[in-house]
Amino acid sequence: MILLPHVLALLLLAAPVPGDPAPRHALPDGMESAPWDAFWVDQCKERLEAAGMTEGYYFSPHNRLQSRRITRTETIYCHVPQAVVWSRGPTGARYGGFTMVNCAMALAMARFEVIAQEEARKVFGDALEAPITYITHVGTYNCRTLRLKSEKQSQHSFGNGIDITGFYVRGYGAIEIQRHWTARWPALQKGSLFLHNLVARLRAEQVFTNILDPTWDGYHANHLHIDLAPTSDGLPSVALEKAKASPVSASAPPREGAGRAAAAPVEIPFVGPEAWLVREAHGGNPAT
């Protein structure tokens, strides 16, 4: 017990500090522009701090550009601009697995986490300010093309997507996308209600460009794919522009949608007319 303060001090010293975002990466030879330029955020660090990200993350110092040959004649390039690596979000929820996203995606995820906590309180009770303590996922950055449409790069190639598999809610337990999304057992229905309410609100407030749930296809049976693709149905993504325009100080005006009444709760999978727009945005390809 006498050594405990010293151990804690060493842990604090070993904890990564945010540092500063990496500068723009030089373009590969022969490239006049890069797809990852769309995700560059001015005053990235200040906007993250205003969103509540004051600890639990750091900017990757490596600033790598990865090339991958996908055919004998074609090579893709992957890069995460202003790469943010985090283990804990602005509400204190921890993330399982290596989590690295670009700055714009990190800003959208900060908003996502706040909304998730609010929706959890509505379903599970408001005794706790932050009932969600853990968020699991199966990947962020991955240099690859779309699984069923290899001529297009995945948003994961730019650290611009995350595949959420579940949440841990204090006092309730684990909520798994695969197990709870279509749950009919009474013991699981609260978890299902939370997931559907969360997705409905994220769509209503345009937090992300695309949100693909288990109704999309078999590839998404166990996770929610969320991303900030630059376009949706051929038009510039509102979600991406909102993320890049996040406040640069905590005293700045609240972002659009903050403080408004949440989208009406739903208890059934989302199957409305927006579904075909999401498919169109992905070029008809279901696997991201």
Whether 45 maps to a domain, the answer reads yes
Lowest mean pLDDT among 2-6, 38-42, 106-110: 2-6
Whether 29 maps to a domain, the answer reads yes
Dist CA 96 CA 162 (whole Å)? 12
pLDDT in tens, 112-123: 999 999 999 999
Instruction: Decide which of 281 and 245 is more confident.
Output: 245
Whether 84 maps to a domain, the answer reads yes
> What is residue 53's predicted lDDT score, i.e. its pLDDT?
95
Residue 206's domain comprises 18-281
Dist CA 120 CA 140 (whole Å)? 24
Whether 58 maps to a domain, the answer reads yes
On the question of pLDDT at 254 being above 80, the answer is no
Dist CA 80 CA 60 (whole Å)? 10
CA 106 remoteness from chain centre: 7
On the question of pLDDT at 251 being above 60, the answer is no
Average pLDDT, the chain: 83
Task: Using pLDDT thresholds of 50, 70 and 90, give the confidence band for residue 233.
Answer: confident
Whether 203 maps to a domain, the answer reads yes
Whether 7 maps to a domain, the answer reads no
Tokens of 174: 């684990």
Number of domains in the chain: 1
CA 69 remoteness from chain centre: 27
Whether 28 maps to a domain, the answer reads yes
Residue 218 phi, psi (nearest 5)? -65, -25
Whether 56 maps to a domain, the answer reads yes
Instruction: Decide which of 225 and 276 is more confident.
Output: 225
Q: Which letter does DSSP use for residue 117 in this model?
A: H
pLDDT in tens, 190-225: 999 999 999 999 999 999 999 999 987 777 889 999
Q: What pTM value is reported for the model? A: 0.81
